[in-house]
């Protein structure tokens, strides 16, 4: 009986400490010294805490969502045998330049003769710019004249092209002379130009998607030249370039919209 009581005195502190360890983090280790009376020797016993899974809070998750993804930048020289990323970049930049040129020529508060230059006219010889089959001049700040004397057979097609240009123009014809009244600068006209700018931006994004798709398809055809990991990295780089271009297109649209609405 006395021996049993002595064993209980030795085990009891260790048992209590083990229960306490269950509530502590995984990084902590409970170290207790159990001193036994037997032989007057101190015994050191270590109890590892039970692992506890810490779940992410809603606040922590929300914080992570706001962080931008890691950007990558492949060395073009290392993948040039698969695809020329510089050429892809130039194609994407050309989409931006085309939109800027379109804005300057067709999306302005004041319509100018130059705005009609690149209107495409469907003729018997194919699609031709209006300025190649006519003489365009400014009669007054409110009127543009389009002389079709050199190609009178294209007059009807030219009128249709001007009406469908999206510039809110309503041409009038007098023989081979097309009179194009310039719309008044009203709030409705400004909003119509903003709508036109958005349509042109969407068309530019369609062109950009074609560039991206063609580039990725070219990369996929080169699977025999590189590992799957390399192919995925190149595809990610191309997608990143496309995303950057979309952001640039949206930036130009925002600037043009502010300009049009005043």
Query: What pLDDT, on the 0 to 100 scale, is given for residue 132?
Result: 93
pLDDT of res. 49? 38
The yes or no reply on domain 76-107+186-261 and CATH 1.10.132.20 is yes
User: Which tokens in the block code for residue 143?
Assistant: 């009127």
The hierarchical CATH code for the domain 113-181 is 3.30.1360.40
pLDDT, one tens digit per residue, over 8-60 is 455 455 544 544 444 444 444 333 444 444 444 444 444 333 333 333 444 44
User: CA 260 to CA 193: how far, in whole Å?
Assistant: 7
Q: Are 251 and 100 in contact (CB under 8 A)?
A: no
Please list the rounded mean pLDDT of every run of 10 residues in the chain (262 residues).
Answer: 51 49 42 42 42 41 48 67 90 96 80 78 92 92 92 94 85 94 85 92 97 94 83 92 96 94 82
Residue 199 tokens read as 């349509």
Sorted by where each begins, the domain ranges of the chain are 76-107+186-261, 113-181
Q: Which two tokens stand for residue 129?
A: 């710019």
What are the DSSP E strand ranges found in 102-225? 120-123, 126-129, 135-140, 143-147, 172-174, 177-181
Q: Which residue has the tokens 């709508």?
A: 195
Segment (H or E) for 230? helix 228-261
The kind and range of the H/E element at 104 are helix 85-106
Cα angle, residue 133 at apex, residues 179 and 127 outer, rounded to 5°: 110
Q: For tokens 């049009």, what's the residue? A: 260
pTM: 0.59
User: In the prediction, which pLDDT does 82 show?
Assistant: 85
* Integer angstrom CA distances of residue 61 from 31, 53, 68, 69: 35, 16, 14, 15
SS3 content of the chain, % helix, strand, coil (to 5): 55, 15, 30
Q: How much is the pLDDT for 228?
A: 87
The SS3 of residue 80 is coil
């Amino acid at each position: 009986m006395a021996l049993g009581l002595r064993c209980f005195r030795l085990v009891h502190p260790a048992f209590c400490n083990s229960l306490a360890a269950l509530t502590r983090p995984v990084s902590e280790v409970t170290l207790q010294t159990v001193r036994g009376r037997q032989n007057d020797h101190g015994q050191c016993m270590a109890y590892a805490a039970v692992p506890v899974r810490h779940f992410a809070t809603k606040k922590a998750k929300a914080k992570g969502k706001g962080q931008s993804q890691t950007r990558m930048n492949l060395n073009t020289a290392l993948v040039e045998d698969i695809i020329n990323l510089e050429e892809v970049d130039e194609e994407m930049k050309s989409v931006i330049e085309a939109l800027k040129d379109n804005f300057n020529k067709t999306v302005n508060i004041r319509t100018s003769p130059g705005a009609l230059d690149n209107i495409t006219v469907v003729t018997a010889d194919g699609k031709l710019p209006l300025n190649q089959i006519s003489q365009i001049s400014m009669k007054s700040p409110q009127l543009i004249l389009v002389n079709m004397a050199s190609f009178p057979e294209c007059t009807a097609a030219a009128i249709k092209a001007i009406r469908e240009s999206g510039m809110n123009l309503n041409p009038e014809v007098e023989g081979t002379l097309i009179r194009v009244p310039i719309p008044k600068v009203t709030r409705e006209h400004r909003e119509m130009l903003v709508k036109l700018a958005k349509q042109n931006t969407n068309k530019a994004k369609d062109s950009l998607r074609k560039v991206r798709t063609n580039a990725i398809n070219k990369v996929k055809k080169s699977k025999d030249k590189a590992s799957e990991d390399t192919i995925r990295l190149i595809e990610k780089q191309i997608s990143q370039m496309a995303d950057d271009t979309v952001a640039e297109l949206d930036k130009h649209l925002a600037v043009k919209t502010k300009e049009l609405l005043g």
